[in-house]
Structure 1
Amino acid sequence: MRKIWILCLYLVVLSCDDGDLQIETLDFSSSNIQSCDSPIDIGETTLFFKIQGDEALILNLENNLFSNASTGEELPTSSISNESQLTYRFFSGDVSTAYFCDEIPPVEPTVLDEIEAEAGTITIISKVSSINTTTKTYSHNINITDLTLINSLNERLTDNSLLDYGNFTTTIGNSATLAFKNYADIPITKCEENPLENTVRLYKTINDEFIFIDLPTSLFVNEATSEPRVLDLATAGIFKNLIVNGISAIETICASDNTSNQAIIGEFFSTEGTISVATTASEPNTEGMVTYTHTITLLNVKLSLKATEEGSTDTVLSEIESIIFGEYTTTST
């Protein structure tokens, strides 16, 4: 009896019962992605699976395909079966996570049929899904296109549509918990048009988030200091850390209200602290130009996480003793 295979965002599996052919539709969209690792290790986890009763759709990704960073226009990709593998298994009974995760898998159920995908392209879209006072969570969506299967009759089936394998999440500590040390090697950039009068907006960006500070121009006088110039964050100036839905855009960073087409996932802002600016001067160059290096440090900073739900209140974080914002240079002749 001829077996028929159909694939259209779901798999159709053929089995025999008392000699009669049956067609069972398996829609894996209602099954969650599972892994044997909890929490998922961004550098180690490669095996994922979806269970639907007595069937499983198993995905073994190549190493380092996804990361704790939002993806841009060029998505991480992997080919089946050269770099990653997708396997369908049909069992003699309902299967559980123990089959995949136990060091010694259970004897039952047994595998009645197994089909490995011959070709296909995997892409992963990663974005920040949530922020709290200590952590940052990413959602990773796995899609498969141009999937090719070979059935038991050696018939080739290729589906050019998109198969949404599903989502999984990973969680890391946010920048505030690191006292923003992850920004230490990022150079300071100045907004070309400062959103506030008589101020300078300086910022640093990492992928899907950025920090910035609005400071009065009087802090950057071209003159070496014997004592740092200081400013009270409670009365003037402001330090912010914003996390966005996607890659940080300059239109968001330098906007007066930090709004653009990008959705803001989380916003930390300063309420107390001291800004210290220490200035050193270089020797004049051959043209008589002097470079002034202004080292910006924030001391005893209190941040709040802005409330995102109506009726809720901002959350105050523990005081950060020191944030080294970095060096900003000016010149004079």
Structure 2
Amino acid sequence: MKKALSLFVLLTLFNSCDDGNLTQEEISFDEVATQSCSNTSSTNTLLYKLKDKEALIMEIPNTSIVTELTAANDTIELDISTTSNRVIYRFYNGTVATDNICESIAPATPVITDQWTAVSGKIQIVTTAAKTTNETTGATKINGYNHNITLKNVTFSKANGTQVYETFPFGDYKTNITALSLNFDQTLEKCTSSNEIYNNNNSEALVLNIDPNLILNETTPINSPRTGLIGTSTNSLTYKLFTGGVLNSDYFCQTTTPNTPTLSQQWDGIAGVSGVSGIIEVSTTTNGPNTYKHTIVLKNVSLQKGILNFNLGKNYILGDVFTSN
């Protein structure tokens, strides 16, 4: 009688080793989400899938669950063994639950009746960002990461021999994060010694090194702002997130960058395409004698870190900066 194993995706290609007249047994957990133990150790993460009287379990290093991939097809690859990067399939004599997998002293029931242990092969993990989109503004936020896990050329040792899968999709494991807040007011500051314009709160900053021709002390016609494009040198935009101290205006406009607070993340503006993306619009009005207010709007501007990116939206009001003659 065939045992039904489980996997998050349909098995694509499989074959059995010639260990006698073995029956190829189908593994299928298609509708089962990947979970992790909350009491994971400081070094390893325990992932598992449960279905009725069956469990598929994987133990991998915490460092394998990454958010810093740098190339579109970058893949974490781990060698499977019986002592590290372990994959186990278990059968029970009753309905299995999380406590049977995650508790250091597992419940006495149900009892394990059979176990397959992966003895060789590779675990491949590809990570992509999970985003939400504001349907009104078009802005996107990264609120987690999806880790797609596949076993390659994996051999399971079982009671009556071995079973080999060339490609064995384990499925997706999702991790959640707190999205970047970008919680700024719309009052900008400009360095007197450079073209750097910035907005900050206690832990984050948006910094625009702007083309000076965009903030001339001349009013612009209504609905005819000056325009520019985000670029790598002119009109460079950077988002910075800090830890280890309070970020204030003393951090900016310095010849030498202060050591504190500590920069933990940096996202750089993606070069714009004329009429499409990465557009800067500056509208200038007077604000009293010899004083000018420049309102800066970013249109369809995206920022990136490695292969990850997010969009500020169709019309992101960076804020107002004031200059004088």
AA aligned to 1:274 is: D
Quote the residue 1:202 is aligned against.
Answer: 236
Q: Alignment identity in percent? A: 20
Contact 1:70-1:128 at 8 Å conserved across structures:
no
- Between the aligned partners of 2:182 and 2:38, the Cα distance in structure 1 is 24
- Between the aligned partners of 1:66 and 1:172, the Cα distance in structure 2 is 13
Give, in angstroms, the shift of residue 210 of structure 1.
4.2
Quote the residue 1:115 is aligned against.
Answer: 116
Quote the residue 2:316 is aligned against.
Answer: 270
Contact 1:208-1:246 at 8 Å conserved across structures:
no
| Structure 2: gaps spanning 5 or more residues | 16-21, 135-140, 185-199, 212-225, 241-264, 271-277, 285-290
Q: Secondary structure at the match of 2:30?
A: helix
- Between the aligned partners of 1:160 and 1:25, the Cα distance in structure 2 is 13
Contact 1:208-1:243 at 8 Å conserved across structures:
no
Quote the residue 1:145 is aligned against.
Answer: 152
Give, in angstroms, the shift of residue 197 of structure 1.
5.5
Quote the residue 2:58 is aligned against.
Answer: 59
- Between the aligned partners of 2:152 and 2:80, the Cα distance in structure 1 is 10
Quote the residue 2:220 is aligned against.
Answer: none
Contact 1:69-1:138 at 8 Å conserved across structures:
no
Q: In angstroms, what is the RMSD of aligned CA positions? A: 4.8
Quote the residue 1:128 is aligned against.
Answer: 129
* Matched positions, count: 230
Alignment of 1:156-235 (within 5 A): 156-161=162-167, 163-177=168-182, 200-204=234-238, 210-211=268-269, 231-233=293-295
Contact 1:128-1:265 at 8 Å conserved across structures:
no
Matching residue within 278, 301, 307 for 1:247: 307
Distance 1:91 1:216, change over 3 A: closer
AA aligned to 1:57 is: L
Distance 1:28 1:183, change over 3 A: farther
| Structure 1: gaps spanning 5 or more residues | 13-20, 191-195, 220-228, 249-263, 278-333
Distance 1:242 1:272, change over 3 A: closer
The answer to whether residue 284 in structure 2 is matched with residue 238 in structure 1 is no
AA aligned to 2:235 is: R
Distance 1:90 1:146, change over 3 A: same
Contact 1:48-1:59 at 8 Å conserved across structures:
yes
Give, in angstroms, the shift of residue 122 of structure 1.
1.1
Quote the residue 1:35 is aligned against.
Answer: 36
Distance 1:70 1:108, change over 3 A: same
Quote the residue 1:291 is aligned against.
Answer: none
Question: Higher RCO, 1 or 2 (CA under 8 Å, sep at least 6)?
Answer: 2
Quote the residue 1:77 is aligned against.
Answer: 77
Deviations 1:246-284 (A, max 9, x none): 826xxxxxxxxxxxxxxx86434532622479xxxxxxx
Q: TM-score, normalised to structure 1's length?
A: 0.53
Contact 1:210-1:241 at 8 Å conserved across structures:
no
Give, in angstroms, the shift of residue 216 of structure 1.
8.0
Distance 1:44 1:171, change over 3 A: farther
Give, in angstroms, the shift of residue 157 of structure 1.
3.3
